[in-house]
Amino acid sequence: MSVHLDDLHFSYPPISAGAPAVEVLHGVTLDVPAGQSLAIMGPTSSGKSTLALVLAGLAPSMTGGVLTGQVQVNGQDAAATPAAVLSASLGIVFQEPERQLFNMTVAEEVAFSLEGLALPPQEIGERVELALAQVGLTGLEERSPWQLSGGQQKRLAIATLLAIRPPILLLDEPMAGLDPAARREVAAVLADLRRTAAATVIVLEKDAEFVARWAERVVILAAGQVVLDGTPTAVFTEVERLHELGVAVPQMAELAARLPNLVASAPFLTARQAAAVLVPQLPTLAPNLHSPLPTRQPPVYAPQPAIDVREATFRYENGTLALDRLSLAVPAGQFVAILGRNGGGKSTLARHLNGLLRPQSGAVAIGGEPSAGRRVGELAREVGYVFQNPDRQIFATSVREEVAYGVRNLGVIGQEAGQRVDEALTVFDLTAVAETPPAVLGYGLRRLVTLASVWAMQPPIWVLDEPTTGLDVRYTGILMDRLRSLHERGNTILFITHDLRLAAEFAERVVVVDGGQTVLDGPPAAVLSDAVALSSFGLRPPPVTRLSALLAPYSFPHPTLTVEEFAAAWSSAAGNGER
């Protein structure tokens, strides 16, 4: 076995004097054979990231706490082996890549560990070149890691691991923050490593679509315990239980659960697998399949845009052209999903809307007023901005103080300020941790703290940069429910995401940004069903939309954007709910 865990328990030290220790792992027993591709999934605070630290020899040596049970990694006792020694057997990519990047350039970052291994310079150069090519960062060798987008930083962290070539690779949320094309590239690299180098690859991941296609085995961790263990097909057929646990399932597994009588003997996890099961059923349904799907009626907006970006151009000091005469007008009250590949200019656009960046040419207007000359604090009254990385906006000593800070800066005091803070804590389910330092919370909870901070400020415009990164199904549901309620109140929502399923379900309009320009713009049905256009920008339609395209030659309505739309169309054609 490359990894062997037997009755593993781990507790963190108490957060404060008199508080109890925090037990995170409870009797985890797990064997991972050499060469296996294993995905470990679980809700927020299930213990996944702590398990990664234990396997890498970083907990409890670097974190404090108490570890009991056996932890064998490549035949070594992980608890007794120094992390530097263990790293030759197991390489780790952290959930937050910024925590392991520290060199001056991208090339130096990848070369650093290779130099520590005293490899010949020529081999170091070859490995650096190959690793950067594998993750799509060729051409950025001299760029500072801090000038990369969040997704590019994640790819760089993965490249540092690929260059070392340890026998065991452990990646914590490798798909978080990556665009769809980058996800496919990384998935292909990991599959190739296992196939050609017999590497053991363990990922801690929330992206069920990736897991369904890549993993040989899926383990579900909940409350620090293994609750499910099997093949992707076996695990993802437990849709109801996974929902209860707060674990994502592939969209096709969701659909299969809606059509159980059709797929009992042939479950499916991908659009092509689903088409193979459903196409034979279509001839008997064909007479009923010609009625089109009901269209979403476009809402009527006020003529004055909430956001008006005209011919905005912005170039960073290193010469990177991030915005190239970009124009975008968003009517007040619209819910817009901004899509695009990593480094395409989405985050740069977002930072222009609250004044953190200013266009070098062109103009930005918020609420009908030019943003030029308006301070960031003034713009914060109108634009609530949620950063891609929550740690860039968290600094207070308690969650309550964090949420209250922005409210006080707006000049809201007394009873109204307290009511706003209490409401925000309640809305985002943070009351129980209100007096806890946000820095000690898990990534998902820190994300909710940033959302609550903006909620308490009650801005009319929300700009959210990848807000679901690091959130499990439950917390994603909380966020999207809150955004839906804000939208129903008339708030304007600009939602940057790589999750096209969320864009399809919630957005009224989809805009694709690439090369610093708006390259696609329209209603979700038009943009998200155009597979050819999306592929030009590293995107692809949601699985259920790809499925309706595969069934369209048989007169099935296309496009369907959600599982609910597809199931309704099928049930309507069947005439009695389901065949």
Q: What is the pLDDT of residues 442-460, one digit of tens each?
A: 777 888 999 999 999 999 9
d(C-alpha 577, C-alpha 579), whole Å: 7
479-511: pLDDT as tens digits: 899 999 999 999 999 999 999 999 999 999 999
Residue 42 has pLDDT above 60, yes or no: yes
Q: Mean pLDDT over residues 196-220, rounded?
A: 92
In what side-by-side order are the strands of the sheet with 37-41? Answer: 90-93, 168-172, 200-204, 37-41, 217-222, 225-230
Quick one: pLDDT at residue 299?
60
Residue 291 has pLDDT above 70, yes or no: no
d(C-alpha 297, C-alpha 326), whole Å: 28
Report CA 201 to chain centroid distance, whole Å.
20
Structural domains present in the chain: 261-295+544-574 (no CATH), 306-535 (3.40.50.300)
- Copy the structure tokens of residue 118: 């005293």
- Copy the structure tokens of residue 184: 């496919």
Quick one: pLDDT at residue 286?
57
pLDDT band at 390 (very low <50, low <70, confident <90, very high): confident
Quick one: pLDDT at residue 99?
79
Q: What's the whole-number average pLDDT of the chain?
A: 89
Quick one: pLDDT at residue 13?
87
Rg (CA), the chain: 24
Nearest C-alpha neighbor of 519 from the set 360, 353, 341 = 341
Q: Mean pLDDT over residues 400-422, rounded?
A: 92
Residues 338, 349 contacting (CB under 8 angstroms): yes
Quick one: pLDDT at residue 579?
42
Residue 576 has pLDDT above 50, yes or no: no
Quick one: pLDDT at residue 287?
56
- Copy the structure tokens of residue 83: 């992390």
Quick one: pLDDT at residue 331?
95
Nearest C-alpha neighbor of 250 from the set 539, 39, 542 = 542
Quick one: pLDDT at residue 214?
92
Question: What's the whole-model pTM score?
Answer: 0.87
Whether the ω angle into residue 559 lies within 30 degrees of 0, i.e. cis, is yes
